[in-house]
Each structure stands twice: as structure tokens, then as C-alpha cells.
Amino acid sequence: MSISAADVNKLRQMTGAGLMDCKKALGETNGDFEAAMDYLRKKGAKISANRADRQASEGAVIAVTSSDSSKGAVIKLTCETDFVGKNEAFVAFAREIAEAALSNEPATLDDLKNIQISGGTVAGRLMDEVAKIGEKIDVTEYAVLKGANIVSYIHGANRIGVLVELSNAPTEANIAAGKDVAMQIAAMNPIAVDKGDVSTETVEREMEIGREQARAEGKPEAILDKIAQGKVEKFYKESTLLNQEFVKDNSKSVGKMLSDTEPGLTVKQFKRIQLG
């Protein structure tokens, strides 16, 4: 029977075996994917069995920055069990991938997986680890930030990684403040840097929720918008980074803490990646 290139590629994605091996396996098994996987195994091909129905919610998140603080990278390497995710070799592998992302600045996840690291490409090494460990292992998320001052932070045994871009050139004081901000982001998970960064759709949704809550409380229709706007302001305070109470000193906001550290110091952007 005729085997399509799409089917060959699908089997390759499922197994990590070579294109020609996948084509032959499908040809020998009349296009039956399960039988083709068995065929590959019987022929001694290294396959990953990296199937979509296997859950990989454990792993390690690693965030790194360049020596001059001009860029940072954060990646999530997932696996199936906590035991593997905390293994030193697994964490070291995750860090190697993060360093490769930092050096190469890949545009897409596929680009990242094609980067050469020790022992082959990232994709090839992933297949090696799957074959060795027997779990579904993959890089499922990553980001690279560039700017004048990038600070990184890893929280909770590699469960959350954060990158923060600060507005001012690096100093000992603002890097320390940046670490505090990154810890805040890890703990409080803000949705945006400031009020103006929240989408119109989100604001409108919060306004509508506020109106309905006030209406359910029996408030007059004429003041529903005013009450809802107050609830939106509370939402900004709880959900936008610069307006959140600073966790180390709740007498001031994160924005105030930064401006107290250095004139003009603020956060330009951040990236937070979490397991689970």
C-alpha cells in the first residue's frame, strides 16, 4: 500500500526512529501504527514510545541569565514522575537545554529542539532519555527575554522559573530588588505588569462580574458601574505586578518598592513558567 509522508512523519514523532525506518515499518505493517511500533522494536530500533496519552506533569523548570544580564532563558523539561524530575542528572539535562536556549535564542520550540548540545540535538537527547528512563520526557515550554537588565529566579525545587526585565542598567541594589520581584511573581502569579497591560476583554469581564455581584446584593442600577469600577481597582491591586502589595513589606506596592530602590526603576516585562 502507499504510505503518505504525513504518516511517516507521525510515526517518527511517536517513536523518534529514523524516517526510512518508519517508512519501512509502515509498509511492512500496512499502515498500522501499533504494529509498526512493534516492528521497529523487533528490529532493534531505538524508539521513544512518547505517546500523547501519557501524562508528563512533573519535571524541572530552569531559568538562566547571561553574565552581563542582557538576556535570560527559561525552559520546562517535563517527565511523568517526581522521582525522575528531582534526579540530579535530569535537572542537569534541563539546565543544559536552558543554557543552549540562552546562547542560541531559538525562535520556536522546534528550533530549540534542533539545537546541538552534547551528544546530539536536543530532540535526539530527549529520545535518548526516554529510551533510558522509560518515561515521556519533553521540552514543553520556553522563553527568551532580552534587555538592559534581566534577572532570573527558580522557586520550589525547580517547579517555577521566572525572568524579569528591569528598566535600569544592572547594579547590586536593583538586581537584589529584581530577585525580590521575581519571587513575588513566583508566589503571586500576576497576570500583567501594570493596569494598562491588562486586556480590554479582561477588564470588561471583571466589570460585568462586579455589576452582577452588586445587583445580587440589591444595589441600585444607577450605581452598579461605580461599584464595579471599585471591584476592578481591587482586581488591579491583586493581579497586576506593580500594584500588588510587596510580599516582604505589605505597607508598600511592588512599584513603590522599586522606585524606593532606585529612581525610575520598574519592570518592563516578565515571564513565569510553572510545572503542572
Q: What is the pLDDT along the chain (276 residues), one digit of tens a residue?
A: 788 988 888 888 777 777 888 899 999 999 998 888 878 877 766 565 544 445 678 999 999 999 999 999 999 999 999 999 999 999 999 999 999 999 999 999 999 999 999 989 999 899 888 878 878 899 999 999 999 999 999 998 999 999 999 999 999 999 999 999 999 999 999 999 999 999 999 999 899 999 988 998 899 999 999 999 999 999 999 999 999 999 999 999 999 999 999 999 999 999 999 998
Assign residue 140 the CATH number of its domain: 3.30.479.20
Q: Domain total for the chain?
A: 2
Q: Is residue 251 part of a domain?
A: no
247 found inside a domain: no
pLDDT of 54 reads 59
User: If DSSP codes are grouped into helix, strand and coil, which group holds residue 42?
Assistant: helix
Do 184 and 87 belong to one domain? yes
**Same domain membership, residue 96 and residue 182:** yes
Q: Is residue 120 part of a domain?
A: yes
- Whether residue 18 is found in the same domain as residue 79: no
pLDDT, residue 37, reads 82
The pLDDT value given to residue 44 = 66
Q: Cα-Cα-Cα-Cα dihedral of 26, 31, 33, 39, to 10°? A: -40
Residues ≥6 apart with Cβ < 8 Å to 239: 190, 191, 192, 198
- Within-domain flag for 255: no
Q: Exposure string (b/e) for 122-131, b if CB count within 10 Å is 16 or more?
A: bbbbbbbbbe
Measured between alpha carbons, how far is 269 from 96 in angstroms, rounded to an integer?
25
The pLDDT value recorded for residue 146 is 96
Distance, C-alpha 159 to centroid of its chain? 10
- 3 state DSSP class of 255: helix
Q: What local confidence, expressed as pLDDT, does residue 53 receive?
A: 47
In a domain, residue 215? The reply is no
> 49 lies in a domain?
no
Question: C-alpha grid cell for residue 99?
Answer: 543554557
Domain extent for 10:
5-36
Q: What's the pLDDT at 130?
A: 83
Question: Do residue 119 and residue 74 come from a single domain?
Answer: yes
Task: Tell me the Cα Rg of the chain.
Answer: 24
Amino acid identity at 224 = L
Q: Indicate whether 115 and 74 sit together in one domain.
A: yes
